[in-house]
Amino acid sequence: MSIELRLSDVEPPDPEPKRTIYRDIANLPDPTKLGITIRYFNYDDVGLYMQITGSGTGYTFGTTNLGLLASGANAYRHLDEWASKAKPSPGDLPGGEMQENITLTLKGYTDSGYTNLKWTFERIVTVYWINSADAAFTVDELDNFDDGTVQGWAAANETGNDGGYPAVGVVTDYVLSASYSLRITQQAYNAVGNKEVRGRLYKSFTTQNKPKVFAIFDIRLADGDSANTWKKYIASRRDGTTLIFLGRPFDAVASSYVPLNRWIRIVMPLPGNTTLTVQIAFDWLHPILAATYSTYVRMDDFKIVSKS
């Protein structure tokens, strides 16, 4: 094996754990779009031009040329809206659930024209669909912020925020359910060199004593931000453990690595009968200017559902 594809933060040579992508069809557009963050490795003695594609019943996948990866190196890439599929109907999910597999195929070429194939690596990933609106699920928590409050959510600085930020409140400009969504505001100033800034939303819950529990929420980045505030990643966590990572680790490149200006749905599995804290962290780059810059992230219709 001279190339490898991973979807976790587990470092080689430890084996990659089984990976599952969780999705909820409730109020999801049709067709559905799938974005995914990958990490790919080149163990060969020479640099390779890497390419990623996929396959799965009913799916249309893109083919993405990832460029040259040096010998011994690895890299992250977020593949935005990389695959599409007709939205499953409620009837496709008996009892509100359905599982299927997709295959991700990483290829390594010795030439920039992607014609001389040297290595191929495949990883099978489970896609676990739920229908949170199905009668089999109960809604144990619904935070839609439509009472005009933050409903127990708070914000904390992880690095780089100044002046008492981040702050959390409700807004009316971008919402999924009228009239409010939650907004976290991050702010940093007087940066010396490119500065990493990261804050998080968080709230504690006690889950039901059931075998299947999911947190479901939608987030939207970038609207109304200061110019040139580059978004690096979103980390969705349970008690500080990252379960879903979108984007790339922080760097000083003037580029965003996560989707902007649209709603993104995230579905996280949670353990039953447990008191835990859901954390959602947002990492960005403050440019090389002695000025104040702000970013905003909105969240709406956070819910926790469970099923016996």
Question: What is the rounded average pLDDT for all residues in the chain?
Answer: 96
Please tell me whether residues 119 and 176 are part of one structural domain: no
Across the range 65-70, mean pLDDT stands at 98
Neighbouring C-alpha atoms within 13 Å toward the C-beta of 203: 17
- Per the confidence metrics, is the pTM higher than 0.85? yes
Please tell me whether residues 13 and 125 are part of one structural domain: yes
Rounded to an integer, what distance in angstroms lies between the CA atom of residue 96 and that of residue 135? 8
Please tell me whether residues 163 and 97 are part of one structural domain: no
Among the candidates 64, 99, 130, a domain finishes at 130
Residue 215 is which amino acid? A
Domain span at residue 151 reads 138-307
pLDDT on residue 195: 92
Across the range 75-86, mean pLDDT stands at 96
Among the candidates 108, 130, 152, a domain finishes at 130
Please tell me whether residues 124 and 247 are part of one structural domain: no
Q: How much of the chain exceeds pLDDT 70, in percent?
A: 100
pLDDT on residue 263: 96
Per residue in 230-253, pLDDT (tens digit) is 999 999 999 999 999 999 999 999
CATH of the domain at 254: 2.60.120.260
Among the candidates 88, 111, 130, a domain finishes at 130
Per residue in 17-37, pLDDT (tens digit) is 999 999 999 999 999 999 999
Strand 32-42 relative to strand 3-6: parallel, antiparallel, unpaired? antiparallel
Please tell me whether residues 89 and 234 are part of one structural domain: no
Please tell me whether residues 125 and 255 are part of one structural domain: no
Please tell me whether residues 44 and 86 are part of one structural domain: yes
Q: Is residue 289 pLDDT above 90, yes or no?
A: no
**How many domains does one find in the chain?**
2
Across the range 219-224, mean pLDDT stands at 90
Please tell me whether residues 181 and 235 are part of one structural domain: yes
Per residue in 253-283, pLDDT (tens digit) is 999 999 999 999 999 999 999 999 999 999 9
Please tell me whether residues 177 and 298 are part of one structural domain: yes
Q: Is residue 191 pLDDT above 80, yes or no?
A: no
Please tell me whether residues 142 and 28 are part of one structural domain: no
Please tell me whether residues 190 and 96 are part of one structural domain: no
SS (H, E, C) the chain: CCEEEECCCCCCCCCCCCCEEEEECCCCCCCEEEEEEEEEEECCCCCEEEEEEEECCCEEECCEEEEEECCCCEEEEEEEEEEEECCCCHHHCHHHEEEEEEEEEEEEECCCCCCCEEEEEEEEEEEEEECCCCCCCEEEEEECCCCCCCCCCEEEEEECCCCCCCEEEEECCCCCCCCCEEEEEEEECCCCCCEEEEEEEEEEEECCCCCEEEEEEEEEECCCCCCCCEEEEEEEEECCEEEEEEECCCCCCCCCCCCCCCEEEEEEEECCCCEEEEEEEEEEEECCCCCCEEEEEEEEEEEEEEEC
Please tell me whether residues 229 and 109 are part of one structural domain: no
What size, in residues, is the chain? 308
CATH of the domain at 58: 2.60.40.10
